[in-house]
Structure 1
């Protein structure tokens, strides 16, 4: 008995892991000047994975940092400079500026995490920017969504699934990635709500949003068909949106069956902005037209920054000020 007690004491963790690591604690340890980029990348990717970041985000960081290393030939963090970053960006001759900016953003995120981990004390990369002429993106209109829904045969499983997803995205503003991760446990059909858990949200925060009655009806019908498909195929999951074989509609990192179908419908029926992002923007614009304040729309979209919401709504700074004035 005494041996078991000693073993438990030996294996017990006497540390409060609920408290964040402070910079002061990190600075107690000597940070070597010859930190390898690959070693730093391995640590940061693991931190991101444990922090619940999406696989796509993790993969993008790994790919862009390794691309930087291939172009510049650098191996150590200490060698990274403004000049080498511009050299790397200049190597992308045949891509759009907006893509180059996206890759720069990923590299900056990596360097920022190196700073947080105590490896790069000076944030020299913050002044590096790529100017891009923003293309104004529009949201799906209620009319186009209604036309599309009228063209879908909801007696067919796939088109019922697609119609339900379209309605849900247009009426709640949730992202296509959230649609793919949605499970029966997230649905409160009796109360008419989505109860979204942190693991399927981009901002990793739980969220609750109402579902209109007609969409509740579609969801209930879809769940019944899903159960029959899973029973027939032997699929073991509780996803709301599944394939004909009972698996997830997100068959790989870059392939979502509903996204593919939306592109097909848009081309087939000559409908504009019928895509996952267009439906989400349409939701935001409809809220604005109904008189909802920008702050509420931002919350409904799960945005962490009000500036992102104003881009969705194509609002100028003056329009934001005028809208907010009525609620202060």
Structure 2
């Protein structure tokens, strides 16, 4: 029998000799609910990505979905296929009152769950969906849309912009001019590459659109002249290079430009040049172009195609816009 090594501990040898039961060892606790939540979120994300949604939209939806899943799994001790009407009521009360979400955010949760239960083929949300539509639970609050911008206000913004310090003011001003002429979504202009542009005629093919349908837009001679002036001072102009680049040669930072735009609008409000109740953002240029085209007599169906709307109802929103109503009232007052 081997002797105990000098300095050894008899208790250590004892522990090594005896057979231990696995139950005696501390086990790492597995959070099965979290695993299930992550699995569901992953499956839903795969479906949304396959549908062609933008990554930012997928990320936002994933964050909201996890709020819902965490609530039903941990607070209600339910699963996605065992929830019922009272559970949905409890969740939306939680979102509205405990999380202090605004009505617009609550509506986003409702739309998300509608899509989620449809895509994942669970039927237990259907009754709540029908009942909510009948009782107008998520439509009674008016959703305020961005205001349309006009040429006069846009020119004031451009004046402020080119008077600022910084190396990107020409780029930013050119971006706004092109955004105004084309009536594009911000992402559509931001993602323009040289291969998609006829820089002699001022014709642009939009390939990465919200509706996944390619469309063509144009710009004025003045905007084209400005665009070519700006591009003369740019570096690499390969077919896959963006027209509007960041300082690091990547795609232009839309959020940064949007913040600069809103900052100028707020400055004009303080000066009294823009009404305080005007809600102007970069997307207001698209609204403004729609109203402008309709005011000039361009047929509704043509405006629909130019802006890339999927339905004529969306375009009709602009035909009944506050800006057009105000102009109509001005005309009526003059003939009374």
TM over 0.5: yes
Alpha-carbon distance change, 180 to 63 in structure 1, aligned in 2, over 3 angstroms: same
Check the 8 A contact 2:114/2:125 in 1, yes or no. Answer: no
Q: By how many angstroms is 1:311 displaced?
A: 2.8
Check the 8 A contact 1:194/1:209 in 2, yes or no. Answer: yes
1:216 is aligned to 2:219: no
1:240 is aligned to 2:243: yes
Secondary structure of residue in 1 paired with 2:120: helix
Alignment match, 2:79: 76
Alignment match, 2:265: 266
Cα deviation code 1:250-277 (max 9, x no counterpart): 3xxxx62221211122122334554212
Check the 8 A contact 1:181/1:239 in 2, yes or no. Answer: yes
In structure 2, runs of 5+ residues without a counterpart are 1-35, 326-336
Q: By how many angstroms is 1:139 displaced?
A: 0.3
**Quick one: distance in 1 between partners of 2:129 and 2:257?**
38
**Quick one: distance in 2 between partners of 1:125 and 1:205?**
34
1:164 is aligned to 2:167: no
TM-score of the pair, normalised by structure 2? 0.71
1:195 is aligned to 2:198: no
**Quick one: distance in 1 between partners of 2:108 and 2:280?**
24
Alignment match, 1:21: none
CA RMSD of aligned residues (A): 2.9
Alpha-carbon distance change, 249 to 152 in structure 1, aligned in 2, over 3 angstroms: same
Cα deviation code 1:253-311 (max 9, x no counterpart): xx622212111221223345542121111011001101122222222221212222233
**Quick one: distance in 2 between partners of 1:122 and 1:107?**
8
**Quick one: distance in 1 between partners of 2:166 and 2:223?**
17
- Select 1:141's aligned residue among 140, 150, 161: 150
TM-score of the pair, normalised by structure 1? 0.72
Alpha-carbon distance change, 237 to 256 in structure 1, aligned in 2, over 3 angstroms: farther
Alignment match, 1:280: 286
Q: By how many angstroms is 1:76 displaced?
A: 3.3
**Quick one: distance in 2 between partners of 1:300 and 1:88?**
41
Alpha-carbon distance change, 243 to 136 in structure 1, aligned in 2, over 3 angstroms: closer
Q: By how many angstroms is 1:61 displaced?
A: 1.9
Check the 8 A contact 1:288/1:297 in 2, yes or no. Answer: yes
Alpha-carbon distance change, 226 to 89 in structure 1, aligned in 2, over 3 angstroms: farther
Alignment match, 1:58: 58
**Quick one: distance in 1 between partners of 2:178 and 2:87?**
45
Alignment match, 1:297: 303
Check the 8 A contact 1:243/1:249 in 2, yes or no. Answer: yes
Secondary structure of residue in 2 paired with 1:226: coil
Q: By how many angstroms is 1:122 displaced?
A: 7.4
Check the 8 A contact 1:69/1:75 in 2, yes or no. Answer: no
- Name the larger-Rg structure: 2
In structure 1, runs of 5+ residues without a counterpart are 1-35, 320-328
**Quick one: distance in 1 between partners of 2:318 and 2:141?**
17
Q: By how many angstroms is 1:142 displaced?
A: 1.1
Q: By how many angstroms is 1:67 displaced?
A: 0.7
Alignment match, 1:257: 256
- Select 1:132's aligned residue among 141, 147, 152: 141
